[in-house]
Amino acid sequence: LVLVTTSLAAAAGALAAAITAFMIFKKHDLSMVLNGILGGLVAITAGADKMSPLEAIIIGLIGGVLVVFGV
């Protein structure tokens, strides 16, 4: 379960960061996608064993969006 939730949060963070960065900057930015992966991983780390896969996706999405605005 920990492996699944961690992987899903990272993937969701990458997707959310890519979409958010494209909507804001009107261009594709690989560094934002990589930062979105890190944001999703950081967001899910504390509760990776307590979350369901759907909750992990939602947390990863939130982390990916927040990292774009944080950068």
Give the pLDDT confidence score for residue 24 in this predicted structure.
95
pTM attached to this predicted model: 0.92
How far apart (Å, rounded) are the C-alpha atoms in residues 28 and 39?
A: 18
Do residues 63 and 44 lie in contact, with contact meaning Cβ atoms separated by under 8 Å?
yes
- Amino acid residing at 30: L
Give the pLDDT confidence score for residue 58 in this predicted structure.
97
Chain segment 37-71, per-residue pLDDT in tens = 999 999 999 989 999 999 999 999 999 999 999 99
Give the pLDDT confidence score for residue 43 in this predicted structure.
95
Cα atoms in the Cβ-side hemisphere of radius 13 Å centred on 51: 22
Give the pLDDT confidence score for residue 40 in this predicted structure.
96
26: region left, alpha or beta (phi > 0 left; psi from -120 to 50 alpha): left
